[in-house]
Structures are given as C-alpha cells and as structure tokens.
Structure 1
Amino acid sequence: MLFRNIILHSRTTSPRPVPGCSKYMTGMIRRYSQHIPARKCEANTAHPGTQKSLPITPAINFKNFSNHHLAFQHKTTKELLRSLFVLYSCSIDTLVNNSFKLLRMGEWLMGPRLLRLLISPFYYQFCAGNSDQEMMVTAHNLSKSGVSILVCPLVESDVGDQQLRSELFNTNLKETLDLVHMAAQNNYLKPIPAMCHVKISALLSPDVMMRVHDAYELLSFKDRISVVMAVADAMDPNTSKSTPSIGPLALSPEDTKDLLDCLPRIYEIGCVATESKVILLIDGEYTYVKTTINLLSLAMMRIFNSEKLLVWNTYQGYLKNTLNVLQHDLDIATELKLKFGAKIVRGAYLEMERSRAQRLGYPDPVNDTYQLTCANYDNVVELMLRAVHNNQEDRAVMVATNNEASIRKAVSLLHELGLDPQKGNVVFGQVYGMAENISVPLGKAGYRVYKSTPSGSVLEVLPYLSRRLNENRTVFKGARRERQLLSRELISRLRSTS
C-alpha cells in the first residue's frame, strides 16, 4: 500500500523544474563488513577491462532526460522500489529535520542490528557498500551506462573538534590513500581517469585552517602569489631549501608548525595519486576555512599539475562571492602558469553557514534564495567553460549538479564553444543514488560522467547521511521529476509482466 501511494503521488504531481600505500582502509572495511547485510553481486564480478570510448553525438538529445527506460534500464525492480521509497521519504521535512535524532533514538530503542536493517534502504541508495567487492560491483554496473565512480570520503569535521591531532591525521591519511587506490582499482572506463575526493580538514585542524584563512585574506594579490610559491616549495621535499617557509603569511609559531607538519601528508597523497593516475578533487568545506583550501590546492597544482591536470579545487555556487573567488584563483594560476581544474557545486553546508553567521553577527555568505544560487552557479560554470575554451590544455571543469536546467545550459554552452566532451577537460558529476535520468543519458551519449560515491560501514555513514539529508533538502524536494520517472518505469515493468 505504501509503494502504491508513493507511485500515485508521483504520477499526479506535475514535474517542477528547479534551477602507493596503506592497507589500513582495506582492513577496516573487512572488519566492519559483518555489520551490514551483503549486497547480492552479479555472477560475473571480474574486472571487465578497458572499454572502448562511446560515440559522441554533436549534442545530446535533451528529450532523453525524460526517457525512464534509458535512465533505469540498469536497475532491478527492487532497486526502483527502494529508490522511490527513499526519495519520497527524503522530501518529508519532519523526517529530514530530525534524521540524526531519530537515528540515535532508533539505535537506543532497537539496538545496532535492527537499526541497520531499518536504514538499509537509505544506506544502499546513497552508499556503494562496505567491502571491496561491493564497490567493484557498483562501479562495474555504473560503467555499463558510461558512468564512472568518484570515490567520496566520510570524514566530517569542523572548528572546535579538539580530538584532531597528529595521530588521527595519520589515520586519515592512510584512509585517504586507500580511497585513492580504491578509485584506481575500480576504474572500468579507461582511459578516462579515476577521480577521488580529498578533505583538507582530515589532514589539518579546522581551527588552524581558520586562522590561516584569516591571515591569507589580509594579504595583497602579490603577497598571495608569494605564499602559494612558498607553501609549494615547503611541501615539495625535492625543492632545495634550508628552512621551510610560508612566506609573508603572518601566523603564530604553533600554527606555522601545524601548517608545515600537514604538508608532507598532502604531498604523499599527491604522489600516490600521480602514480595511480587518479585525479584529486579537493573538497570546498566551510567558508571560514575555504581560503586555506584554495591556498593549499594552488600549491598542490604547482607541484603535481606540471604535466597533467591532477589536482582540481572545488567552488560552491551557493556563496555570494564564488565568482570573484574563482576569478582570483584563475588569475593566480595564470601568473604562475599553472594547469587549473575546478569542480563547481552548489554547496552542502548552507544551514550551518547561515546559523554561524547569525550567531557571530557577520553577513550571511549564502545567496538569499535558491533561484539566486542557481543563477550564480550557472555564471560560475560559464566562467570556467570559457576559461577552458581559451586554454584547453591547461584548464578543466567538472559541472557537478543534479539540477537538470543547469546541465542543459552547460551542455548547450559546451557545444556553442566547440568543446569536445570526450577530451576530458569538461566532465559532469552527480550524487550516487540520484539524477539517474541525467547521468545515464549523458554517459550513454559519450560525455564523461562521475557519480560521487561514499563507501563505509553503517556507523561511519550515519553522520554523513544525516548531514546530506539536512543540507540537501531543497534537492530532495526538487526530485519530483525523478520520482515521476521512477513511477513510470515501475508501471511499465508491471504492465509488461501482467
């Protein structure tokens, strides 16, 4: 009855367009895998090997975004029912607002085992699983539609997390290195490169990052260039230097030491990614540490992007100043002759950014409305697409959004500028478990598409899922169209079997 009501609701609701390395992670995954019922794997789970490039059309037929057969042909009927149930549930404000409380209460009342069974539909909707084999199956299934995985870490940290010290940073480093290897091992669409997210806050205390951010903000453009060069030199052990320096960046001796101590960790990740041929996408995180992330990303680009675009930074369209920040970093990249890649997202920390601004009494950094965010997002994407057009060897962009209108605009501009979608300097990204009607048609048409895919135990994933539910409520509310397509595909399958 529940699924029948969900299907009827989706049918009667009109679509609304809305703008080399450690073995730690492997051991951890195996240790926790017993907590989750294993996902049924396909009989043939062997590495399918390298696939040929798909033929590219002059421009994708946007009508395919409404083709439910094309979007969901790789999913079982059971998976369709699960997707419909989960996406419908995620559109209910009461459930989303109290998700973390409900999860904690459920664990207390029912115990960990029953809770895992209860939330398994949500877990498997948005997570690849908790074992190497489950990740392999997920990546293999996506590859059939021309879609690659973008391995996503589960670290969630913020200012005030005092437990973040060198011992934990080293643990996070090992986990990140294993995620890089996981991305490389599950790349079934070669020569398309694998991709992996990296969180700087897993390697350096957010409190230190905030103070570096404040100090960097006070510098002139010329001094910022000097700091990028100094940090890159301090990060690279092959650079001859007597004493590591951070240039004109005014920090306390303690913060300077912490910053310098994190650089070897970042350098090791870059080296492993280079050897594994994995592109690193540096997460954007919070506004009050973002400039630190930009600084370290530019320093990494100076070291690791000499031959290929290995390091890309993230820019968040929901922030009012993103267009200016991106242009600023592009200018630094031009001055230093860096290869520069950018992932453009809407953003995932909206409520926390607004509540912090209100609590501390500074201007809200987030756009006032979702419509303004969409307009800003499209402008930021256009800036990067034109930058790629003007310098196709040294610039790259990922258009990372579940929003169909923004995808349409980006694809149209891509072809207007005469860019080749198979070259690899313009790619697309969506969240695993959502926007199949966008990802699959793009992948089938030969565009390079990635799904941001977390992997881990239920206990690890709970905070991640709760955060994503709360911060992406607008996205879930806007999933009416996807629910409608899911319903159509379900009805079509039921009719064909009757």
Structure 2
Amino acid sequence: MVRSRLYPPSLRLMGTAASKPLVAKQPNLTPTSPLSFENPSAFRVKSFGELLRALSVFHFCSFPSLVNNCGKLMSVAQSILGRRGLSLLLKPTFYAQFVAGENEREIFKSMEKMSLLGLRPMLAVPIEEDLGESSGEKRYDDNMGAMLECVRMSHSNSWSKDPMMQLKITALLNPELCAKLTKLISQQPYDLSLLVRAMDGESISFPGLEESEVSHFLRGLQRLNKVAEASVNKVRVLVDAEYTYMNPALSLVTMAMMKKFNKDGVWIWNTYQCYLKESRSLLLNELHLSKNEGFRMGVKLVRGAYMDKERKLAETEGHLDPVHQCWEDTNDSYNGLLDAMLEVISQRPERYRLIVATHNEESVKRAAKRMEELNIDKDGGSVCFGQLLGMCDHVSLTLAKEGHAVYKSVPYGSVADTLPYLVRRAQENRTVLQGIRKERNLLQQEFSRRLRGGRRSPE
C-alpha cells in the first residue's frame, strides 16, 4: 500500500491551541438510563409481512456459503428464470429489505415511513467502480445527473430534518486515475488550492499526469463541483472511502471540496475506516489540516468493509497488511477515534460533525454515554448515528426513541441497477450479516407474540 504524504506528521488531538490538549466539559449531573437493545418491542411498529420478510432474509444470510457465493447464485438464477423472473423473485424479498424503491413514488413512500418511525433517510445512489470497470466521459456525466437527482430528492424530502446523501467519487472519476494519483501524491503532494482552482474551471496542469489524464481529472473535479454546489445549504454529502490503493487520492479530492464548500457549514464529509492501521494518524492529520486551511469538517466513522480484498492485495503485491490483525484492535481503533472526535466536538460543536456509522451495540452505547458526559445535545446536529436500511433496526429504533438523530443508508434504483451493489455489500458485510442472531431472535420473539394475538403498535 502506498500512503499519501500530503499531510504533516501525526499530532496529538488539539483544541484551539496547538500545545493545549483537549479538556472535557463537566459531565451532566442528571444522567439518563443506559441504552438497552434487548427489547423486542422495538419491532412492534413493523407489519406482520415485514417481520416475516426480515426473518426469511436474515435466515438466508446466516449461511456463510450462501452469502459468499450470492453473486454466482444470482447469475445462475437469472440464467434459469430470466431477468424478469429474477426481478420478480428478488423484489418482494431481498430488494424490499435493503432498497427503498425503484421510482420516486416508492422512494418517497419508504422515506416517509422512516420519518414516522423517527428515522432519517440518507439516500445512496448505487454507483461505483473499481479497477478494470472504468467508463467513458458520457457515463460519468450520466452518473453526475443521477447524483444531482439524489440531491434534489433528498432536499425535497421535507419530512426529514437536516438531509444527507452518500457519494462515491469513483462514480464520477476514473478509479485507475485515482490509483495513479495515490502513487503520485506520495512522492509529490498536490496543494489543495490547485484542485479548488480546477473545480472552478481553471485549466490546471497536474505533475505526473498525461494530457488525457489531466483532461479527465479536470472534468471529474468539475462534476464533483456541480454536485457540491447543488448540495450546499440543502443536503450534507458524505463521501465514502473505498480501497487503500485509491483512498489517498479520494481524501485529497474530498479535502479540496471541504476547503471550498465548508467555510460556513459542514456540507462535505469524509469517511474513515477504523480497521486500517493508519486510520488514527490519517484522521488526526486531516483535522489539523482543516484547522490550518480554515474549513469545517464532517467525519463518518466506520469499521470498514474491504478486509479480505485488502489482505489478498497486500499479500499479492508484497505489501504490509494494512488491516488490524484482530477484531479487538479494530474495536480499540474505532472507540479511540470515537472518543477523540466527541471531545473535539464538545469544544467546537459548530466546527466539527460526526456520524457514528456502526452496527456495533457497544460502540453505540459508548457514544451515547460520552455524549451525555460531555453535554453534547442528542439532536443538536453535531453527532448522529447511522445504520444500513433493513439491518440493525432494534438499535436504530431504540436510539430514535431516546431522542438521538439516526440515519439509515438508503440505496434506491431498479433491481438490475441495485443487484451488483447489493451483492458487493453482502460480501463486504458478511460478518455483520452472519452475526445478526440477536436481531433475528428479537424479530422471532415479536413474530411469536403477534401469532399469539398481540397487535402491531400504531405508527
């Protein structure tokens, strides 16, 4: 793995002065009861059909061989049933569990239902590319149109306070170029101002890139600029992290977008994968960069989803494994950065924002407890929580009931368009999918109660 040297050496986490460590606020003297995710009553808002569907889907996902080979199974099913037949099979099951809908009416119906449950949708266009999947400029322009439509739908969703959406840079910028940029900036860093000028339409020459690559990079930056311009003062854009061989380039572009658009508010966010050994130094360096460059910063904190591929790639290319060696180290990494961000936010809530994007109950409880100790408002906008649509609802619904801001990542589109996305997410999150025994048990308890004559709670 090649790391970017765009940023200065790792620092201690700082407050307003470089030499002054963070000091937490006095804890709230009237603590609330600790969060508990043991009660199946969280699912009483679901219909009988929704309970049955979730139980069926989660039962399928409990078999590792099925999850690991779901892409091949879908291909076989399509060859037997045809595209339409496969769509008819998936739409009421896996698709309905994890996707908001195909058209605007279906998407808005799903978003409205979430709102009634106290949850907030975070729309995600299921478009991304990896090496060897690059498209032409027209396809990237079409993808930009889809992103602008996502901004429009997120903003017109009047029942959701403080709307958010997700964005993958490789939907608008060639992944091969991102990989090449990662290598280049490890040797010769690019100044953020250079990228900002390119976003504004100035013809810039980037050292190390060929003429055709410069042309594509300029067009890609201008596509990102259009999406950002459309979202400012309307929708917060959370840029996803991807693979280590392109992440430094993605962070460079994201920091440039922050420099341009996060002067007076936190509209562009970056994602930090805590299963990577470098996650702490990367986040601390970029916090320092935001302070020096004078822009505000949004942070999406995740554990990470590309572990197997990262390890295989490191072994193939003879690099050090970039991923923590054990689950406990990843947990320590996540919880350490979570604590650090909450302390920063307690001092400068107007300057930093955080989404605790995890299905891990202990990290969620830790975040809620520290927020209370640091007097961070549950729904003040500085800290929120995030989980995937169709998963971890017992955590999401409990958090919302307790007054926290909770977002569900909501992909949308046709079955054909979302199927590759769903297959990738299933394989990347298979340890989560296979570990949902507790959620399945809670669903089963509510399902059994309903069979005995218990009623669904009114919405």
- Is the shorter-chain TM-score for this pair beyond 0.5, marking a shared fold? yes
Size of the aligned set, in residue pairs, is 426
Q: 1:182 aligns with which of 148, 153, 159?
A: 153
> Is the 8 Å Cα contact of residues 235 and 263 (structure 1) preserved in structure 2?
yes
Deviation at 1:390, TM superposition (A): 2.5
Deviation at 1:59, TM superposition (A): 5.8
Q: 2:53 aligns with which of 74, 82, 85?
A: 82
1:173-252 pair list within 5 angstroms: 173-189=144-160, 192-219=161-188, 227-237=191-201, 243-244=203-204, 246=206, 250-252=208-210
- In structure 2, distance between residues paired with 1:355 and 1:308: 40
Q: 2:262 aligns with which of 300, 305, 311?
A: 305
1:365-404 pair list within 5 angstroms: 365-404=322-361
Distance 1:236 1:389, change over 3 A: farther
- In structure 1, distance between residues paired with 2:363 and 2:30: 19
1:330-345 pair list within 5 angstroms: 330-345=287-302
Q: Deviations over 1:358-380 (max 9, x none)?
A: 22221121122222222211112
**Residue 491 of structure 1 corresponds to which residue in structure 2?**
448
Deviation at 1:130, TM superposition (A): 0.6
Unaligned runs of 5+ residues in structure 2 are: 1-28
> Is the 8 Å Cα contact of residues 64 and 434 (structure 2) preserved in structure 1?
no
- In structure 2, distance between residues paired with 1:453 and 1:407: 20
- In structure 1, distance between residues paired with 2:363 and 2:40: 20
Classify the secondary structure of the residue corresponding to 1:157: coil
Classify the secondary structure of the residue corresponding to 1:450: strand
Classify the secondary structure of the residue corresponding to 1:384: helix
> Is the 8 Å Cα contact of residues 139 and 187 (structure 1) preserved in structure 2?
no
Deviation at 1:83, TM superposition (A): 0.5
Deviation at 1:187, TM superposition (A): 4.2
Q: Deviations over 1:314-347 (max 9, x none)?
A: 1111111111111111111011011011101111
Deviation at 1:447, TM superposition (A): 0.9
Specify the code of the residue in structure 1 equivalent to 2:204. Answer: P
Deviation at 1:63, TM superposition (A): 4.9
**Residue 11 of structure 2 corresponds to which residue in structure 1?**
none
> Is the 8 Å Cα contact of residues 274 and 310 (structure 1) preserved in structure 2?
yes
> Is the 8 Å Cα contact of residues 100 and 412 (structure 2) preserved in structure 1?
yes
- In structure 2, distance between residues paired with 1:61 and 1:229: 48
Deviation at 1:383, TM superposition (A): 2.0
1:238-317 pair list within 5 angstroms: 243-244=203-204, 246=206, 250-274=208-232, 277-317=234-274
> Is the 8 Å Cα contact of residues 87 and 479 (structure 1) preserved in structure 2?
yes
- Per the normalisation by structure 2, the TM-score is 0.89
- In structure 2, distance between residues paired with 1:342 and 1:233: 24
Compute the RMSD of aligned alpha carbons: 1.8
- In structure 1, distance between residues paired with 2:235 and 2:30: 28
Q: Deviations over 1:47-88 (max 9, x none)?
A: xxxxxxxxxx9666445422211x212210110111011112
Deviation at 1:217, TM superposition (A): 2.1
Unaligned runs of 5+ residues in structure 1 are: 1-56
Q: 2:132 aligns with which of 134, 137, 160?
A: 160
Specify the code of the residue in structure 2 equivalent to 1:65. Answer: F
Specify the code of the residue in structure 2 equivalent to 1:196. Answer: M
**Identity of aligned pairs, percent?**
35
Classify the secondary structure of the residue corresponding to 2:245: helix
Distance 1:58 1:85, change over 3 A: farther
Specify the code of the residue in structure 2 equivalent to 1:107. Answer: Q
Distance 1:487 1:279, change over 3 A: same
Q: Deviations over 1:449-484 (max 9, x none)?
A: 100010011111111111111111111122111111
Q: Deviations over 1:411-449 (max 9, x none)?
A: 111111221122101111000001111111111222111
Distance 1:397 1:58, change over 3 A: farther
**Residue 8 of structure 2 corresponds to which residue in structure 1?**
none
Specify the code of the residue in structure 2 equivalent to 1:449. Answer: V
- In structure 1, distance between residues paired with 2:409 and 2:453: 33
- In structure 1, distance between residues paired with 2:175 and 2:249: 10
- In structure 1, distance between residues paired with 2:379 and 2:31: 12
Deviation at 1:118, TM superposition (A): 2.4
**Residue 3 of structure 1 corresponds to which residue in structure 2?**
none
Specify the code of the residue in structure 2 equivalent to 1:477. Answer: Q
- In structure 2, distance between residues paired with 1:473 and 1:338: 37
> Is the 8 Å Cα contact of residues 80 and 486 (structure 1) preserved in structure 2?
yes
Distance 1:61 1:460, change over 3 A: farther
